[in-house]
Amino acid sequence: MIKKRMVGVITVKDSLAVQSFGYKTYLPLGKPAVLAENLDRWGADEILLNCIDVSSQSKSIDLNLITSVSKAISTPLIYSGGVQSPEDAVSVVKAGADRICLDAIVSTDIHMAVEISKTLGRQAIILTAPFTRSHQDHFWLDHIGCKLNSINDLIKTIEMDIFSELMLVDSDNEGIRNSFDMSIMDKIIPLTPIPLILFGGISSASQIKKIFNIKNVSAVGIGNSLSYKELAIKELKSSLPKEWFRS
Amino acid sequence: MKRTTIGIIDYDLGNVQSLRNCFKKLGYICVFSQEIKILKKCDILVLPGVGAFPPAIKSLREKKLDIFIQSLSKAQSLIGVCLGMQLLGKSSEEIESNKGLGLINAKTIQLPKNYTHVGWNNVSFNSKNFYEHDQKHFYFNHSYYLDIPKKYILASSRLDNLDIEVPSIIKKNNILGIQFHPEKSQARGLHLLECLLIDHLE
């Protein structure tokens, strides 16, 4: 039986791991490879290296950073940030990532996203969908084009069948404890069976319990709250049903 | 005593960093190359894989590594990991129809209902040699699998929501295939890989 996953998220800005508060203010934490090594040792089920300034500032992907993290761990590594072509995707995998997240490219050039998926295989591709709430409705946020897309647009993109999982990122609540906006699930779950990774404002065991009781949710991403406490992952897992997690 | 040398086949696709780390931790000499003269000197060859079947087989053919792998002597062992295991079969239906390396009489087919097998799943072993690893969890990441005769299956994993079992480890003579990623399955994966290598080399 496939187990639920706790994904340790390392947010990277200017090649440094940072604690993010709503992607607006940042606190430096140190070298990403050191944080990754800790998450690996503490029992994260996957690690997400989330390089937030690569897409938005047109920087090139830091392959050396990916390699340094990959060398430090034996946990599956997901990379996110600035993958724009099949060549980028292959370079990222060769540098040490197992899966990649596609975000901005899906809005700007969906045909390129299709080519990336054909190159790496659907299993290696995660669609990252930041969402925001405005006028009592949810929108899929295109932070590069500064546009709000509808949830129906998101569902149409998922139906192209080029992604293995959908990572829903609560942009409004990232960096705020126990604040993930669960009402988004009412919009997504009835429309698609794609496995979901939820990220942004997820930290407590009671919150994760509610989330993992939803069948479609395969994983949660946890960032800030894992970086300050050595046994945080073990403590979270021990207060949740044992059968949800790998032994 | 001569140390075993492992050659990871470089065909421009795949995450080899973790495999290299793994073999080095286990004390093997590990080289990473697409040079046939270098690979010929290795005791064990490893065909890694993160990617889709069509670009992978195309790249192997372009580098003439397909012919080299197909003509391996029995003195050399071959291990295919994930996509590397699927490449060992006769054909694949991933994206388009393609011939594989044809070392095993098996076809790579899509998991039902467009399912993607991602995450940690338990592995059931058919051999008593691996009882300590039976039902332990390892990391999978694939949406196609090798449909192979039972006699070659050393271990399998159940996908409850599809009500099927997929081969997770296969063995035929000097060839071993591993569908999951032992190199990404932390200490438990490392230990299993060590046991598989010892058993395979015997």
- Spatial distance between the Cα atoms of B134 and B53, rounded to a whole number of angstroms: 29
- Spatial distance between the Cα atoms of A238 and A231, rounded to a whole number of angstroms: 10
Mark yes or no for CB contact B143/A161 under 8 Å: no
Is A159 in the B-facing interface, judged by CB distances under 8 Å?
A: no
Q: How many CB pairs under 8 A join A and B?
A: 113
Is A71 in the B-facing interface, judged by CB distances under 8 Å?
A: yes
Mark yes or no for CB contact B186/A3 under 8 Å: no
Q: Which of residues 39-98 of B touch A (CB under 8 A)?
A: 50-55, 83, 94-95
The pLDDT confidence band at residue B192, using thresholds 50, 70 and 90, is very high
Decide which of A18 and B1 is more confident. A18
For residue B37 the two structure tokens come to: 């003269």
Is A97 in the B-facing interface, judged by CB distances under 8 Å?
A: yes
Q: Which pLDDT value is given to residue B15?
A: 77
Mark yes or no for CB contact B120/A3 under 8 Å: yes
End-to-end CA distance of chain A: 12
Name the least confident of A93-107, B7-21, B40-54, B90-104: B7-21
For residue B94, give every residue at least 6 positions away whose Cβ sits within 8 Å of its Cβ, in sequence order, or none.
Answer: A121, B52, B53, B54, B86, B108, B110, B144
pLDDT per position as a tens digit, A140-166 = 998 777 889 999 999 999 999 999 999
Most B CBs within 10 Å: which of A1, A160, A218, A220, as the mutation test of the B interface?
A1
**What's the DSSP call for residue A242?**
G
**What's the DSSP call for residue B181?**
B
pLDDT per position as a tens digit, B147-187 = 999 999 999 999 988 889 999 999 999 999 999 999 999 99
Nearest to B88 by CA among B110, B73, B66: B66
Chain B residue with minimum CA distance to A2? B121
Radius of gyration of chain B (CA): 16
Q: Which pLDDT value is given to residue B1?
A: 62
Is A219 in the B-facing interface, judged by CB distances under 8 Å?
A: yes
For residue B46 the two structure tokens come to: 């490893």
- Spatial distance between the Cα atoms of A99 and A122, rounded to a whole number of angstroms: 10
Mark yes or no for CB contact A1/B160 under 8 Å: yes
A-chain residues near B50 (CB < 8 A): 93, 98, 120-121, 124
Strands (E), chain B: 5-9, 29-33, 44-47, 77-81, 91-92, 98-99, 107-110, 117-122, 124-125, 137-142, 144-147, 153-159, 164-172, 175-178
B-chain residues near A161 (CB < 8 A): 114
A-chain residues near B94 (CB < 8 A): 121
B-chain residues near A3 (CB < 8 A): 119-121, 137
Side chain identity at residue B18, one-letter code: S
Q: Which pLDDT value is given to residue A56?
A: 65
How does strand B91-92 pair with strand B107-110? parallel
ipTM for the predicted complex comes to 0.94
How many other C-beta atoms lie within 10 A of the C-beta of residue B172?
18
Q: List chain A residues with pLDDT less than 50.
A: none
Q: Which pLDDT value is given to residue A57?
A: 64
Q: Which pLDDT value is given to residue B202?
A: 75
Name the least confident of A71-80, A86-95, B47-56, B94-103: B47-56
Nearest to B123 by CA among B102, B110, B99, B139: B139
Decide which of A166 and B199 is more confident. A166
Q: How far is CA B92 from the centre of its chain?
A: 15
Radius of gyration of chain A (CA): 17
Q: Which residue ranges form the domains of chain A, and what is each CATH number?
A: 5-241 (3.20.20.70)
Q: Contact, B125 vs B96, CB < 8 A?
A: no
Is the model's pLDDT at B14 over the cut of 80?
A: no
How many other C-beta atoms lie within 10 A of the C-beta of residue B102?
14
Is B112 in the A-facing interface, judged by CB distances under 8 Å?
A: no
For residue B40 the two structure tokens come to: 């010929």
